Chain A
Amino acid sequence: MAATVSADRILRELADLWVAAGQEQAEGGLGVLRACAMTLIVLAEETEDMEALGETIAALMPEYPARTILVRLGGTGAPALAERVYSQCWMPFGQRRQICCERIEITASEASLADLPSILPPLAAPDLPVLLWWRSARLLGTPGYRKLAAMADKAIVDSSGLEDEEAALPMLVEMAQGEPERAGRARPLLGDLSWTLLTRWREMLSGVFESRECQARLPDISNVVVAFAGFRPPVFAWYMGAWVANALSDAGAHAYLTWQPRPDLAGRALHVELTGGDFRVSLERHDDRLSIEAGGLSHCTNLPQPTDYLLMREELGIVRRDPLFERTLATAARLAAASIT
């Protein structure tokens, strides 16, 4: 592996890709259409399933065409860097011209992490947002993370990969609210896939309270139970409880909130129940469906199992502040801290 990579060389190789595509057009082909709406930097550990990650990135491209810079982080030896450049193309159904996105792959040893903040900025597509998908939980919150996040408009992390999930919440608060790495530049927005995971659940629960009858029962709710798999509440269970608590508090309800381990649940499944008097709302997943019971009416809807693709698809669409997430994160961190003490 070479010790250096050159941004100029990478950009020249990218330009050559499009010249080759243009020649195909000149020779009578339909050529290709270059699509780019953002720069997506993906930082992944070399030990990850790169084929699966590649498929996830490829699946995201039709909706969020991007110049993708995949950084494969591996090896603890001497500083080492290598790169390759290629394009990802697809033929939209019913059309005759391919759409192509640029992909740059950089392999870096851990000792080269410090070099990345100088290599990546010139590779970003000009005038378009830069999003950082930080898949390596191990290095979350480190100076390396902060330096790379500083060049991004938004950093997307997945707190469910952290070993000590309760310690994760204060760290996430610090990442969301801490001082920006560079003076005069806005702090990057923060997204956590553990929060994204809950969107469809929250949407269904919210849908229940679109009904005036159910809305009128809000102040009666006195108990909220968030049941989860395992022994300790995962971050997304803290988020769910905190979000419900905030909403009920806004509605003037004072509910008792509990997190309960439930042996019959597995993985990232949840069961959420709100009760008060004879009023009960419950949400539970069965395979690809979510069942909702509210005030005597039952309802069932499609809820695909969350995949990296589905979660990222949502996060890439939000490149602005998410005040509700920020508030929930702060509440979740407070509730988690209180439960420890």
Chain B
Amino acid sequence: MHLENPFQDPLRFERRMPECAIVIFGASGDLTKRKLIPALYRLAYDRRLAAGFAVIGVSRTPLGDDGFREKMREAVRDFSEDTKFDEDVWNAFARGLFYVAGDAGDPALFVRLAQKLAEIERERQTGGNVLFYLSLQPSQYAAAALGLGGAGLGKGNGWRRLVVEKPFGRDLASARELSEQIHQVFDESAVYRIDHYLGKETVQNILAMRFGNGIFEPLWNRRYVNHVQITAAESIGVEGRGAYYQEAGALADMIQNHLLQVMATIAMEPTASFRAASVRDERSKLLRSIRPMAPDEIRVNSVPGQYGPARVGGEDLPGFHEEPGVDAQSRTDTYAAATFFVENWRWAGVPFYMRTGKRLPKRVTEIAIQFNPAPLTLFHGGAEGAPNLLILRIQPEEGISLKFLSKRPGAGVELRPVSMDFNYGSSFGERSPSAYETLLLDAIVGDATLYTRQDMVEASWAVVEPIHNAWRETAFDFPNYAAGTWGPAASDQMLARRGHAWRTP
């Protein structure tokens, strides 16, 4: 029998989802209505979904198929920011939406789910392919995976894959335990641990910039790079997620997953190919090369913070303790900064500074690579001390800037820093797909490049856990930074000890 689709035109056709069913656990949750269903609707609108496509929402809320469709219709109307709501497209899409009510801890749920999947496979020609998406409380991940296994849903006529949202474990031991439970049902190759930062276009563009061009890689090492700063700042507070956030904190919520993955993308070795296994092998190798901090290093190379109240722009902002749902005695870090070192020949001795926090002056995520100064100072006066910087902006204005010195026009030789800018939005004005569109499509076509693997998760926890433990055992004098500022003074001192200073993005 002929196995390839003879109508394919890879040069012109967009990547499309093959026939499949997506089972979303936690279908009444925020993520489903704000991100997942709008992303799927967008894919339908853009002709990316196969006719044989279905979504089965699963959650405890008692609902029927029609009730679920109605709720999702509202979600698409409210949260599809840049997609027109088209009644006919919606109706065709909604015919593929189904719902099964039940608790992930109840085995009967999985029996009902198996029946529903069998019906849908017959009627919608989904080919037996199923993507299970766990958008549940992390404590329910194992129960859901084992429930699927108990009902025989881990295997079927087509492929079976499992997408798991962050956080993957609370520490190294719980991450390992969760992987072991999931592996009772799904092979590691079928487990897709989502990190939506890796789905962002600019993070992917880091790979394109590094390995698609010949001019950067020769400079990408300890000989030329002085240090690297990774900043992920948010201007908002916990925004109603106080109860969740005080259990996580900035270190676990951002650095353990997103920022270490970004650092791995920046610092990893070139891959032999752009296949998922090669890219993930190199990311993993880099993460395993980060030196875990000894207790005495933690004191000087990491800084926790918690914001206090302040008046910013005429508005009184509450401190973390005053936020709804937050324990007034909470010692949770709303800010985390750390200095990491990579122990390999390329990066030995180069500090990687990382900071993230809530209620900082602006929302910005960027990576700044500062190069060593020229070996000889030929020009005096003016800005000759200004370093060469390569700045990779992830949000809000995605792009790349290179800062260097140039002679100021006129008599004499006076230098001034200038910026050469590449703006992702202006050079490619087309709409970038949302991170969830990219990641869902990748999981369905079986491309795990942008997903994290067990060894990567464990390597990240191995780096973060000693800091986490040390912070838990220390009584910090919180709050130690005012809302609307760039974090605690100790964070500035952490860099100053090496003669460096945080950039102001």
Contact = CB atoms under 8 A, between A and B. Distances in A.
Given A208-B51, A251-B2, A302 B9 contact: no
Contacts of B421: 33
A152 interface: no
Interface residues of B, number: 42
A252 interface: yes
A63 B429 CA distance: 4
B6 interface: yes
Interface string B1-38: 11101111101111010110000000000000000000
Nearest to A92: B425
Contacts of A169: none
Interface string A10-49: 0000000000000000000000010101000000000000
Contacts of B14: 203
B214 interface: no
Contacts of A322: 11-12
B16 A295 contact: no
Interface string A241-257: 00010011011100000
Contacts of B84: 302
Interface string B414-448: 00000001010111111000000000000000000
A206 interface: yes
A244 B9 CA distance: 12
B47 interface: yes
A297 B125 contact: yes
A206 B8 contact: yes
A301 interface: yes
A219 interface: yes
B124 interface: yes
B6 A251 contact: yes
Nearest to A322: B11
B2 A35 contact: no
A210 B18 contact: yes
B50 interface: yes
A232 interface: no
Contacts, number: 130
B127 interface: yes
A100 to B, nearest CB: 10
Interface stretch (B85-93, B266-274, B347-355, B488-496): B85-93
A215 B50 CA distance: 13
A164 to B, nearest CB: 27
Contact of A301 (B6, B9, B44): B44
Given A35-B426, A63-B429, A292-B51, A301 B19 contact: no
Given A202-B7, A295-B125, A211 B51 contact: yes
A294 B51 contact: yes
Given A199-B13, A324-B11, A215 B19 contact: no
Contact of A209 (B5, B12, B46): B5
Interface in B177-219: none
A202 B429 CA distance: 25
Contacts of B127: 211-213
A200 interface: yes
A277 interface: no
Given A203-B47, A301-B89, A303-B47, A62 B429 contact: yes
A35 B11 CA distance: 25
A210 B125 contact: no
Majority SS at the chain A contact face: mixed
B65 interface: no
Give the interface centre of B1, B5, B19, B426 by most chain A CB atoms within 10 Å: B426
B12 A211 contact: no
Contact of A65 (B16, B18, B426): B426
A77 interface: no
Contacts of A37: 427
Contact of A302 (B86, B423, B425, B426): B86
B397 interface: yes
A216 B1 contact: yes
B19 A210 contact: yes
A142 interface: no
A63 B428 CA distance: 4
Contact of A297 (B16, B18, B51, B88): B51
B313 interface: no
A267 interface: no
A218 B8 CA distance: 14
Contacts of A138: none
A99 B396 CA distance: 17
B11 A65 contact: no
A72 to B, nearest CB: 26
Interface in B46-75: 46-47, 49-52
B89 A95 contact: no
B341 interface: no
B13 A206 contact: yes
A300 interface: yes
Interface string B391-406: 0000011000000000
B92 A33 contact: no
Contacts of B8: 206
Nearest to B46: A302
Contacts of B45: 301-302
A314 B12 contact: yes
A211 B124 contact: no
Nearest to B157: A212
A35 B424 CA distance: 11
Given A205-B7, A206-B5, 9 more contacts: A37-B427, A199-B12, A202-B9, A209-B7, A294-B51, A297-B51, A301-B44, A301-B45, A320-B11
Cβ-closest 5 pairs across A and B: A62-B429, A206-B7, A300-B92, A299-B51, A63-B429
26 contacts: A61-B429, A65-B426, A92-B426, A95-B397, A95-B423, A202-B13, A203-B14, A204-B47, A206-B5, A207-B16, A207-B50, A207-B51, A210-B19, A211-B18, A211-B50, A211-B125, A212-B127, A215-B2, A247-B6, A248-B6, A250-B2, A297-B125, A300-B92, A301-B47, A301-B89, A318-B11
